[in-house]
Structure 1
């Protein structure tokens, strides 16, 4: 049996693999003769995708080709050519990843890998795909969306993670590594400008401070106007306005010890995010009529690709973030053991305003909704070799204090809208104008009248005497509704983990990893809503009105007047808590067929803890058939994933090419989803399966030209129908079993090409093109068949001139240069049955950049 080498720098740890399957063997039977790329080879050919040195396994000096892990890694050159400036941009070059955004960039962005992600704008949900920046886990996807400084590399790890580092994740990890301080002095300034009044200013400086201490400082400002026009005002929505300031210190005492300290501060001040109308439902007439009373448009009748919307001019559309953080990474070697400690604290605060009726009517809005997230994390890792075992043990602790303050309130036309919808729903040949509930529309009779005993009765009911006085339901005033519903969730998470490679022979390696997870969550809430209509329904007359509306099948009118989002029945304070312990892990066999072809087979179990739906509409209502508000109504179960994979890594050194792939199958139990039922949000745990094929390839056919491509076939579907009780003994279908999950194309192809050409000894040209093809897919379960995305491709590019000595560079770039229209997501507009809106993707963006290095 082969003994491990005495020094870690002399080994590529995963030089072993197992080939399984006749078909796979035949596919990889082409002759290959060179050793896998080492770190020094990566320096000679830095643009080759699979020669990038990765940190996925926390072992030194390993490249993508060395590790039996489904990982795609991107070096700094490709990231710069592609224009990756934030997390959203990564999907352009990684086929297995999907980044989607809804009503808030800060709290409504989610990431999916292999079809599994957490799609919700509710901060009570943790991400299925974790994001780590310089080894520090970001607790929510939105917290990872800030501007990024100069990058050293990005790694996309597919499948459950947790036995190597950080927080456990059920679907994968995006690991972002930024440029470190350098002891050699260096600085640059970069400016850019483009369409939609876009501009960027970026500067960085680094260098040695003392013999053992180096520093780095980065500053970046990026802004552009919005690309969606509000026809009821002069606002341009969905703009960008972001600022980042970041400082680092790197201390290196000797070859063994180092300490990297990072501090950053960032701001985002944007008028984001808004959806545009796609389909108008039966209530559209009421919206348009009410808006016209204020001299406004209710909807824009243009196609969505016109990027126009009609909103209430008096309501704020904002998505603002202020954040800061500090982290310290200490490394040292004690004897032959490598020790790493990562300590971090982050303070993130987001505030947003929103026109929640997505129309020109002033029905409802958010003003000052806020999220505050304060997180402390501590991680320790210790690793060494012992005999034929390369072992790693670690511990992780996280304390998170999350506060969410929601402020859904009713506007100046809340009663007008209710009455117009009621009139339309009750209109008939004998009463063409219909009937209203609150009396806000002159000339329309009330639906109820007052009997001699003072009780209400349906005017249209048989036997009710004519000429009785109207009976009106109390209405909602401007500013009624939630008055700062406050939720606080404290999470304490602790874990012990180990990851061990056992060299069974020169070619065969076994990997065994395990993680013991402990999660504790405490919920406290203090919620209050001013809602006269809801209060009325608890009176004897209100109970009579509810019963009579139910008798004529008009319960939806009562829900319209007393939406669960503002139902005062839930007012009060309460608390709840739970804890859970889970054991997860991985087992893997890898075999090296030749120095250039290895294969592996693996099993991994992932875990994402349960939590609380931070939304009062998640409570059960006594008024509408439930058993009353209880904290347990908001709790949802943990999500677990069992993942099986067969993968391979191949190098064709004769033609300077690589071809890697993986077949995978994942069984997801209690998949966490947040569904909008038309009146409220419900958290549903369901079972999902995901399976498919992934391919990554790269080739350098001639000097200066690098071609890269990726393909992902993903089938991700629920096993059964997703149902929710209506409260009357029946169930509502929210999503069909066997249906592909939202925003997950079955086929994705990515491709990029970069060509560097020397015009003269002092002048070099850069030509870069990248593309992502997505097959057709649904934009949401509620709008399947209506707001689906057809197949489309997004193409970007960059052309530049560079000084051969690297002193300057000028380039022009474009994103979505064919101006392809697509939907980021779709949704049924609240309280507007049949009305559908969509969040459109970015139109064509282009500009020019000039960079000077010193």
Structure 2
């Protein structure tokens, strides 16, 4: 590793010995831990955030106990994140059973809660996300811009269910809020250094203090370096590496006793060479057998091609195209809070950008089939939120706000076919199949533009009708306007724009300008009752909408290889959500048990589906008529003493397409000649021949089948035990901690396929350390301790070849961390 790489490794740290402070209400919702007096204090024990008897939340813009707020919410302190190694969203999902994060690369990422939020699969610029992602109160318009390392994070909140009547941006499935540490008027500094296998190095640092009586600052930096976990045997490169750097600065100005302003700026750069997919398994499609990957007499055998390993957990690939996954993320915001006595007025102004520079090998193997596939993209967004919230403790409390958001995205896509494309992709009956020059150098240059404007007013009331009984209606009026442009120019290897039918079947020129605009009104109604100080129940109904979208990844083609313009837009999702919950604490609040049951129905569900045509590698959007998701979840924690704490969380989620009659077919029902009245569909996985082809249905009815990416069962559990100790002259405690997770199998294809189920798996993380009374912490850790072999996702190669490729999760990693707060 170079000295310049070492220079990046300074990062902001959160002391695991510091209780989470209660911040100013600058972001929705602000949640913080506050320690109650321990009923059985141990003067030798060092308190941690998990010792807290109650958590205070300002989700409705006023201080309330989280147990009394009628929202299913999980709160993780900076200490808990550090202990579990959850320094990004991908790691965070291991402790949150109802949170799912999927990423085939930073651009193609999705955050789901309870299985809903964004379509599983390739990202399409023209749609909204159903899970809001916020950093210090600022809505992040692209999920790709959420893939940064956490920098000096104070806490993370995960709210489940629709949140549009309290949020700037409408969120139909939930929200993930990240709150970074605030400037302090007391000088402080923190440093954390970690080292581990795969040459892992990570550093975190922060410094904060006053600049004057009314002005304080905070500067935080972060850096992560790690060799890759996958070897490219063709180039010698190590893939799935980490090269991350981030910095954040904040200025807090207490302008008057009633007015404070926080100016923030951040920058992140990553170049992880990540998210590689390669050989996982082979299935049989309805394409002629000599045109499928497997064999003999399959395509791989015809080319004399063998993958580096048939065991994907040998972690070897031979990708022959250029790879890159560099991204820059940054922005600035100004948050103002003005206390006018009976209420507080809050303003959140922000500008952000995201610059994505990728390169991929989209044929997933070491043959020159698709030699270039990339969509460099630049996003810019501005947002303004203003709201007024009553200052609590009244019979009738309120929050009213307005939100404006404008986003532009410019994408410059390209796809280039190689010398093996003709034989790999074209029908063997075509005279061009044996002529490499027909497809070699065939190039699609795509210019894509997107303009998105959103405006909303929203409000929420909390009326305590009688002691303990609360009536809480909410309302939102929303306007969305989207416009786009998609221009794809296709040229042959000689530079000509005149294409034959085989060339158009692989890459077809397209040009269209989709438009969408609409108003909608949504709302929710909650009844809650405080049975006692520590037992609270609630019931909620929400009617929510996710804005309609436009297709900006190319359209499917008709029988003449022309784009089907009617598929350029998708209708809004209409959501009916029902939820009941019970929040309880027992044994002097040493035991917490929260339960929630939910039932969500979505009409016109926005699904990303895969085009079955030979050369198309991107998905497009379609509306499924109806989706139904229902389930039960629980969160529990146990604190029998300050020497021991534990948690167990779990969820049962039943998510199905209630009605989707014209869905794309799974790979085992694809690749053959289109079935018709004379030629009915052939059995699944039956290959055809040149003289006796198999027939594939034009579409499939997948009503009643499961949604992708959702495990029916998921759990997380962990805890920590500590004992007083004195080592090397320092007093403190020795501790042993564990964090584990399990999820049952799930489908990794929009239409469930026998070939793309991901088996259930469990992960275990351990830590053993010593922390002193003066806030020095030294601990060793091991993650995925039992070296579980699992896939994060599976997908299929374009062209119905039957090749299934996968992205493996990280192997066992281990290391040592030292942190110190001053």
In structure 2, C-alpha distance between the alignment counterparts of 1:563 and 1:179, rounded to whole Å: 54
Secondary structure of the residue aligned to 1:335 is coil
In structure 1, C-alpha distance between the alignment counterparts of 2:676 and 2:456, rounded to whole Å: 43
Partner of 1:3: none
Please say if residues 516 and 550 of structure 2, whose CA atoms lie closer than 8 Å, have aligned partners that are also in contact: no
Given candidates 477, 487, 494, the residue that maps to 2:440 is 477
Are 1:794 and 2:735 matched, yes or no? no
State the 1:415 CA deviation: 2.9
Partner of 1:29: none
In structure 1, C-alpha distance between the alignment counterparts of 2:399 and 2:620, rounded to whole Å: 41
Please say if residues 793 and 820 of structure 1, whose CA atoms lie closer than 8 Å, have aligned partners that are also in contact: yes
Mapping of residues 314-329 of structure 1, within 5 Å? 315-329=321-335
Please say if residues 483 and 515 of structure 2, whose CA atoms lie closer than 8 Å, have aligned partners that are also in contact: yes
In structure 2, C-alpha distance between the alignment counterparts of 1:208 and 1:298, rounded to whole Å: 63
Please say if residues 619 and 634 of structure 1, whose CA atoms lie closer than 8 Å, have aligned partners that are also in contact: no
Are 1:738 and 2:677 matched, yes or no? no
Given candidates 523, 533, 537, the residue that maps to 1:595 is 533
CA RMSD of aligned residues (A): 2.6
Partner of 2:432: 437
In structure 1, C-alpha distance between the alignment counterparts of 2:325 and 2:591, rounded to whole Å: 45
Partner of 1:54: 57
Q: Which runs of 5+ in 2 are unaligned?
A: 1-21, 23-31, 39-46, 665-672, 678-696
Cα deviation, 1:139-169, whole Å, max 9, x if unaligned, reads: 1211111121122111111011111121001
Partner of 2:803: 835
Given candidates 704, 709, 717, the residue that maps to 2:656 is 717
Please say if residues 534 and 567 of structure 1, whose CA atoms lie closer than 8 Å, have aligned partners that are also in contact: no
Partner of 2:300: 288
State the 1:507 CA deviation: 1.1
Mapping of residues 346-365 of structure 1, within 5 Å? 346-365=352-371
Given candidates 628, 631, 643, the residue that maps to 1:692 is 631
Given candidates 468, 472, 478, the residue that maps to 1:507 is 468
User: CA 1:493 to 1:38, structure 2 compared with 1: closer, same or farther past 3 Å?
Assistant: closer
Mapping of residues 184-223 of structure 1, within 5 Å? 184-223=186-225
Mapping of residues 117-136 of structure 1, within 5 Å? 117-118=117-118, 119-122=120-123, 123-136=125-138
Partner of 1:76: 78
In structure 1, C-alpha distance between the alignment counterparts of 2:463 and 2:216, rounded to whole Å: 38
In structure 2, C-alpha distance between the alignment counterparts of 1:438 and 1:581, rounded to whole Å: 51
Partner of 2:401: 394
User: CA 1:727 to 1:329, structure 2 compared with 1: closer, same or farther past 3 Å?
Assistant: farther
Partner of 2:94: 92
State the 1:588 CA deviation: 0.6
In structure 1, C-alpha distance between the alignment counterparts of 2:198 and 2:37, rounded to whole Å: 38
State the 1:46 CA deviation: 2.5
Secondary structure of the residue aligned to 1:766 is strand
State the 1:488 CA deviation: 0.8
State the 1:567 CA deviation: 1.0
Please say if residues 279 and 806 of structure 2, whose CA atoms lie closer than 8 Å, have aligned partners that are also in contact: yes
In structure 1, C-alpha distance between the alignment counterparts of 2:663 and 2:455, rounded to whole Å: 34
Please say if residues 422 and 433 of structure 2, whose CA atoms lie closer than 8 Å, have aligned partners that are also in contact: yes
Mapping of residues 767-806 of structure 1, within 5 Å? 767-782=736-751, 784-806=753-775
User: Which segment is superposed worse, 836-845 or 321-330?
Assistant: 836-845
User: CA 1:249 to 1:287, structure 2 compared with 1: closer, same or farther past 3 Å?
Assistant: farther
Please say if residues 415 and 438 of structure 1, whose CA atoms lie closer than 8 Å, have aligned partners that are also in contact: yes
Higher helix share: 1
In structure 2, C-alpha distance between the alignment counterparts of 1:746 and 1:48, rounded to whole Å: 32
State the 1:336 CA deviation: 1.6
Partner of 2:450: 489
Given candidates 389, 404, 412, the residue that maps to 1:383 is 389
Please say if residues 201 and 225 of structure 2, whose CA atoms lie closer than 8 Å, have aligned partners that are also in contact: yes
Are 1:817 and 2:785 matched, yes or no? yes
User: CA 1:631 to 1:492, structure 2 compared with 1: closer, same or farther past 3 Å?
Assistant: farther
State the 1:642 CA deviation: 1.0
State the 1:717 CA deviation: 0.5
Partner of 2:518: 580
Secondary structure of the residue aligned to 1:412 is coil
Are 1:231 and 2:233 matched, yes or no? yes
Secondary structure of the residue aligned to 1:270 is coil
Secondary structure of the residue aligned to 2:801 is coil
Secondary structure of the residue aligned to 1:378 is strand
In structure 1, C-alpha distance between the alignment counterparts of 2:229 and 2:237, rounded to whole Å: 10
User: CA 1:722 to 1:567, structure 2 compared with 1: closer, same or farther past 3 Å?
Assistant: same
In structure 2, C-alpha distance between the alignment counterparts of 1:38 and 1:219, rounded to whole Å: 24
State the 1:367 CA deviation: 5.3
Partner of 1:550: none
User: CA 1:302 to 1:331, structure 2 compared with 1: closer, same or farther past 3 Å?
Assistant: same
In structure 2, C-alpha distance between the alignment counterparts of 1:167 and 1:189, rounded to whole Å: 35
Partner of 2:486: 525
User: Which segment is superposed worse, 261-270 or 117-126?
Assistant: 117-126
Secondary structure of the residue aligned to 1:90 is helix
Larger of the two Rg values belongs to structure? 1
Partner of 1:751: 717
In structure 2, C-alpha distance between the alignment counterparts of 1:718 and 1:368, rounded to whole Å: 31
In structure 2, C-alpha distance between the alignment counterparts of 1:221 and 1:385, rounded to whole Å: 40
In structure 2, C-alpha distance between the alignment counterparts of 1:537 and 1:528, rounded to whole Å: 11
Cα deviation, 1:318-368, whole Å, max 9, x if unaligned, reads: 111012200111001123221000011001110110111111111113355
Please say if residues 735 and 781 of structure 1, whose CA atoms lie closer than 8 Å, have aligned partners that are also in contact: no
Please say if residues 404 and 454 of structure 2, whose CA atoms lie closer than 8 Å, have aligned partners that are also in contact: yes
Please say if residues 50 and 64 of structure 1, whose CA atoms lie closer than 8 Å, have aligned partners that are also in contact: no
User: Which segment is superposed worse, 165-174 or 74-83?
Assistant: 74-83
Given candidates 28, 31, 41, the residue that maps to 2:36 is 41
User: CA 1:128 to 1:657, structure 2 compared with 1: closer, same or farther past 3 Å?
Assistant: same
State the 1:749 CA deviation: 1.2
Q: TM-score, normalised on structure 2? A: 0.85
User: CA 1:489 to 1:734, structure 2 compared with 1: closer, same or farther past 3 Å?
Assistant: farther
Please say if residues 42 and 48 of structure 1, whose CA atoms lie closer than 8 Å, have aligned partners that are also in contact: no
Secondary structure of the residue aligned to 1:407 is strand
In structure 2, C-alpha distance between the alignment counterparts of 1:534 and 1:578, rounded to whole Å: 35
In structure 2, C-alpha distance between the alignment counterparts of 1:792 and 1:409, rounded to whole Å: 37
In structure 2, C-alpha distance between the alignment counterparts of 1:240 and 1:689, rounded to whole Å: 38
Please say if residues 721 and 733 of structure 1, whose CA atoms lie closer than 8 Å, have aligned partners that are also in contact: no
Give the total of aligned pairs.
737
Cα deviation, 1:6-51, whole Å, max 9, x if unaligned, reads: xxx9xxxxxxxxxxxxxxxxxxxxxxxxxxx994529976315883
In structure 1, C-alpha distance between the alignment counterparts of 2:53 and 2:703, rounded to whole Å: 38
Partner of 1:466: none
Please say if residues 287 and 359 of structure 1, whose CA atoms lie closer than 8 Å, have aligned partners that are also in contact: no
State the 1:766 CA deviation: 2.8
User: CA 1:48 to 1:499, structure 2 compared with 1: closer, same or farther past 3 Å?
Assistant: farther
Partner of 1:32: none
Are 1:629 and 2:636 matched, yes or no? no
Given candidates 410, 413, 416, the residue that maps to 1:406 is 413
In structure 2, C-alpha distance between the alignment counterparts of 1:262 and 1:331, rounded to whole Å: 14
Please say if residues 597 and 651 of structure 1, whose CA atoms lie closer than 8 Å, have aligned partners that are also in contact: yes
State the 1:733 CA deviation: 4.1
State the 1:776 CA deviation: 2.3
Q: Which runs of 5+ in 1 are unaligned?
A: 1-8, 10-36, 427-434, 442-473, 543-557
In structure 2, C-alpha distance between the alignment counterparts of 1:563 and 1:241, rounded to whole Å: 39
Cα deviation, 1:509-554, whole Å, max 9, x if unaligned, reads: 0001000010001112332111479989977xx6xxxxxxxxxxxx
State the 1:728 CA deviation: 7.3
In structure 2, C-alpha distance between the alignment counterparts of 1:342 and 1:659, rounded to whole Å: 35
Please say if residues 52 and 75 of structure 1, whose CA atoms lie closer than 8 Å, have aligned partners that are also in contact: no
